Chains A and B, each alone.
Chain A
Amino acid sequence: MQKARKIAGKAVYILLLAVFIVVMVFPFYWLVLTSFKDPRDISLMPTELWPSRFSLKFFIYAFTEHHLEVYLLNSVVVALGAMGLTILFAFPAAYAFSRIRFKFKKFWRNVILLANMFPIIAVVTPMFIIFRKMHLINTYWGLIVPSVIITLPMAIWTLQAFIDTLPKDLEEAAQIDGCSRFQAVIRIIFPLAAPGIFTTAIIAFITAWNEFMFALILVTKDSMRTVPVAISMFPGQYTVPWGDMAAASVIATVPIVLVVLIAQKWIVSGLTSGAVKG
């Protein structure tokens, strides 16, 4: 009896797991499938759940008709730039919040956390007007700098949670041995914090890669668009080129999926570190 129940329980579990995985994977399956369809089959009705023939034409169109390579380059530059700037600003701040006592520390930390909550819509209009005067519209810097508002608070939070877990005695010992605080940080904390920095950098990269509203509004020239915005401009007045969009989406997703596959453990710890602390 007990055994039967255990087996039944296991069967239900596996069934639920299977449903869960199908639900998670099916939209991707459909996207990838569409991208490999033959252009002649894309508007077949009823649609084929498994196509009778495959083709790479949509992938070719993504580059020949839409110049995806230009948008990919823009996305890479902007995401890498935002990632670099974020780490450059976040690491010192996270260290200070974790290790140094200074006046109004809590206040400044709350200011940064609050800024994280601002809706982009409330910052983007003045930015558009100011950036136009400063000739920053349609430039890489014009996209890298604003994205800091989305990536920086999260980065400081994650990094601080990480530095909090590092033992204090090491840097204290180094300071007693005659290292300056700066040297102690560079020689001891920085290497120890490397996994935390890596995690933060990846999350910042993905966030910047996916950013949509800034990229939609602060860029008016087609050749400066990032991939997500560029794909949203594929649909014409009367037709929606589903195949081209699917192929471009697959290409835009592959680098992100690779990053997630390689770094999933770190990403999860980074995403959850701030919250589980308590």
Chain B
Amino acid sequence: MKRHISREKRDNLTGYLLIAPAVLAIIAVGIVPVIITITYSFEYYLLTDPQNRQFVGLQNYIEILGSSAFWMVLKNTAVFAVISMVLELFLGFAGALLMNGARKGTRGVIRTVVLIPWAVPGIIIAYMFQFLFNNQLGPVNVILSYFGGASDFSWLTKPWSAMLVVIVADAWKQFPYIALMLLAGLQTIPQELYESAAIDGAGKLKSFFHITLPNLKGILLIVLLFRTMGAIRIFDIIFGITGGGPASSTATLLYQAYKYLFTDMNYGKGSAMSTIITVIILAISILYIRVLGKRDDE
């Protein structure tokens, strides 16, 4: 005799049993710590002064938002996010179109070349670029001097050029991912569309804007939002190349939070900064899931 549990109940039970380990893990190492961080953010909590730990309400937030450092790192984050994204999208498109135009064998080679930066630890890429742009030992100045540039330009001691090196390093690591996503998108566009456009007399540029771009809209959106988040969360590249300097000119929101937490040992303030970052990221992700959800419904 079999017990009669309705199929619906059984499916519910199986479903929950199967997702339980993953969900519990995510709650334990993701959601719970974030909640604790939020509670710290309302406290005076200095590792060097644990006796006086106490609830201070919005004090940390008021201090952060009132400091000029906050607006500076916010500006740095925005500058970094926008410029690196434009650069990465441009290079990503170039890479994707190059791969799409290549014969199968060549495409495999390019794809491998492109995947490697994605797979190499960010900190190693950071040191690679720090060394490339080193004013005395790096090859960039040597190569530039062949073209009449200064041979001892000190890239990492000036705010604008330090930011530039960080952006270039990040773009070099990240654009391959964008290129691969776009390539995957390009390959789903039916070839006939281009053929009939060519018969109608459309040039290459015209078919790019009228066929390629509209068909890639979904992927572009995902890539954009992913990269926005990546730009907010960037850490190891800045840590390795500039350490946030010179004079905090390459410190992002996240880097500032790291400094509060692990240089100043100020868990209250650092947690408030981390909470601000989390809120910004969650706002963007909700937008992202909304957009994705819409695509699924279509």
Contact = CB atoms under 8 A, between A and B. Distances in A.
B229 A117 contact: yes
B166 interface: no
A105 interface: yes
A231 B8 CA distance: 54
A12 B158 CA distance: 36
B212 interface: no
Contacts, number: 265
A119 B77 CA distance: 14
Interface of A is mostly: helix
Contacts of B257: 121
Chain B's interface size range is 35 or more
Interface of B is mostly: helix
- Looking at A101, A108, A227, A264, the one whose CB has the most chain B CB atoms below 10 A away is A264
A256 B112 CA distance: 12
A126 B33 contact: yes
Contact of B121 (A49, A90, A228, A265): A228
Contact of A92 (B21, B101, B121, B185): B21
Contact of A102 (B16, B270, B289): B16
A24 interface: yes
A58 interface: no
- Looking at A95, A146, A149, A265, the one whose CB has the most chain B CB atoms below 10 A away is A149
Interface string A136-153: 000000000110110011
Contacts of A119: 232-233, 254, 274, 277-278, 281
A186 interface: no
22 contacts: A17-B102, A21-B113, A30-B128, A31-B124, A43-B137, A96-B15, A102-B15, A114-B282, A122-B277, A126-B33, A149-B26, A152-B26, A213-B236, A217-B262, A227-B121, A228-B124, A232-B123, A246-B127, A257-B119, A272-B180, A276-B184, A278-B298
Interface string B152-196: 000000000000000000001000110011001100100000000
A122 B275 contact: yes
Contact of B29 (A97, A148, A212, A276): A148
